[in-house]
Chain A
Amino acid sequence: MFGSTLSAAVAPFMNGTALALSAPSLAHLSGLDIAVIAIYFAMVIWIGFYLKGQANTSEEFFMAGREMTAWIAGLSFVSANLGSLELMGWAGSAYQYGILAAHWYWIGAIPAMLFLGIVMMPFYYVCKTHSVPGYLKLRYGQGASFVAAVSFAFMTVLMSGVNMFAMAVVMKVVLGWDLNFSIIVSSLAVAAYVALGGLRSAIFNEVLQFMLIWGGALLVPILGLVESHGWSGFKEKLAHNISTGLTPAGDYTHMWRSMGHFTDNPMGIHWTGIVFGLGFAISFGYWTTDFLVVQRVLAANNLRSARMAPVIGSFFKMAVPFIVILPGLLGLIVLQNPDGSLMHLVGQDQVNAAHPYSYNEVLPLMLVRYCSPGLLGLGITALIAGFMSGMAGNVSAFSAVWTYDIYQPLIVKNARDEHYVAVGRWATILGVIVSIITAYLVMSAASIMDYVQALFSFFISPLLGVVLVGMLWKRATKAGGFWGLLLGTLTSIGLWAWVKADPSALRYVALSPDARAMAEDMYRALWSVIVSMGVNVIVSMFTTPKTMAELAGVVYGATKIPEEEPVPFYKNEWFWTVIAIIIFIALNVYFW
């Protein structure tokens, strides 16, 4: 999930961590469940060893040989983002706020994914860059590239550590597992299969994880709908619960009706924040410039596959609310206490003997409610797989950026290919070690996590401004890119620090005294993109542009996009883009 919105999903797990860790575990696994989990670990290690022989050159290790089909790249692209914390966090948000949480899956993803596939992918793919910082080097030179590479590499391993610790907490809360056991076992498995098989291994496991998540989680909404007598039955029961005071009043089933003012919805967000902040600044920043996800598409086997991959991913992304948001909503009416009364989930810091479970446990609670032995193990395996593939995504992206964008241009320029593969393998192990250290640092001071997430969010949106202007405007210059990135980032940091020091400043950042924390993320991202683009344009007007020859392959208007072979309409990326847009609009209208 996006850096800045990750906090919305993850932070609640950390608040009151000590309290959560002292509670009895939520689920008890049978022998069959343990066998299901053990088989998964055996499978990922087998894949890592099997793929070792296919990761001998740098192109194979870092770019998976650029051999991925559109389907594999597309599933991996969407799966790299489908972490378990996000699944559990957004299911909890759906329980708390209703279907508003689906904005993060629809307007907060689909337009950006389609834009990446149709508009931006040709430039990334034609210039044959190995990474997003690599693209910046071609477009703006070493300065902007170095800033982007260092910030990305640093933040990626820190985020990996934060996720690792959060995973251990979830495993402790849900299964009662020891924190050290979860951290060590998961990091050893990830280090083994990524260091052995490189990006190909990470991608294979992401596709595997994707299938497991659907296999393990899809049964929950199906059985939930059966128990609720369908969607209309759910709405009737919910309306009854609200009218009798069993459930807090609110509009849980509409996405846009309550967006007219900050005070009309429980998230404290205005529609402009959702459309321009989330729908543009945050989601375009994440889906089109975060190398963690873009790397998967760069591994596609040809330009058409590279364009199709995000389009294919968009369909699955649109479907994710069915296994995340819907279970959260259904939990509002089906979850019961042992005495048969309606269960009330609360915030993590409000958990007590009367309310033993928090919002974030709605997904595991629903799994436990419906899944018998074997199926429960499958659901838990899906959560573990989600954590591990997220970690693998982080360390494989770190390894590529460290080797290509920091080590090769600045430390050892002209070594043999085998040398860089070895550096990549060691960087993978180093990435895992730094992640483990970060996990233990967070364990000793949970507030570190908030700072790490804030740091991550500082860089993503300004990077979007720089990449977008550079890709679509020939006049943008090296100095424009550098200063745009720098001042956009400083704007983001400055606004964050301002609100941190004086919370009432939120009225200026988010344009309303009624805005809440989530709105801050969106408007902060929006301002930093605007500053980044504005500074880039202004500085570029006063500095010397690159020649057309230098811009070939990296900028619109100076790049000859290779002609693609004609294919039947059902294999054409434009056809599926139009279908995705129609479904996206239909979903928003239906749940208006």
Chain B
Amino acid sequence: MHSGHISIWFFIGVLLTVYGAMITAYGIYELVSGTLANVVLANLHAPVWWGGLMLLLGLFYSVKFRPGRER
């Protein structure tokens, strides 16, 4: 949004990537270890797909709006 400056979308991308990675990692741990959290519909493994979705979206924004890239 401002030539030479970091876009807000990049900050959002970084945050989503970090959160997505943490939540997906936890979801995979649950999946592998079989110790599910005590929540309803834990069998749907929401941390895996919701965290994965956030990770993908975050990576997309981080790359597309990375500092220095011409838009």
Contacts and interface: CB of A to CB of B under 8 A. Distances in A.
Q: Range of interface residues on chain A?
A: 35 or more
Interface in A49-68: 50, 54, 65, 67-68
A36 B18 CA distance: 9
B41 A226 contact: yes
Interface in B20-71: 22-23, 26-27, 30, 36-37, 39-42, 44, 46-47, 50-51, 54
Contacts of A373: 26, 37
B8 A72 contact: yes
A211 B37 CA distance: 25
Interface in A4-52: 32, 35-36, 39-40, 43, 47, 50
A204 B8 contact: yes
Interface in A178-223: 203-204, 207-208, 211-212, 215, 219, 223
A36 B24 CA distance: 13
A579 B30 CA distance: 43
A208 B15 CA distance: 9
Nearest to B54: A215
B42 to A, nearest CB: 7
A374 B51 contact: yes
A226 to B, nearest CB: 6
Contacts of A208: 8, 11-12, 15
A237 interface: no
Residue picked from B16, B19, B27, most chain A C-beta under 10 Å:
B19
Which of B1, B18, B54 has the most chain A CB atoms closer than 10 A to its own CB? B1
Nearest to B45: A372
A418 interface: no
A509 B44 CA distance: 53
A372 B11 contact: no
B1 A69 contact: yes
B39 A371 contact: yes
Interface string A360-396: 0000000011111111001000000000000000000
A375 B5 contact: no
B30 to A, nearest CB: 7
Given A219-B50, A372-B37, 6 more contacts: A32-B22, A36-B19, A39-B18, A370-B39, A374-B26, A375-B46
Interface of B: 1-2, 5-6, 8, 11-12, 14-16, 18-19, 22-23, 26-27, 30, 36-37, 39-42, 44, 46-47, 50-51, 54
Interface of A: 32, 35-36, 39-40, 43, 47, 50, 54, 65, 67-69, 72, 203-204, 207-208, 211-212, 215, 219, 223, 226-227, 334, 368-375, 378
7 contacts: A40-B15, A67-B1, A212-B15, A215-B54, A219-B46, A369-B39, A370-B46
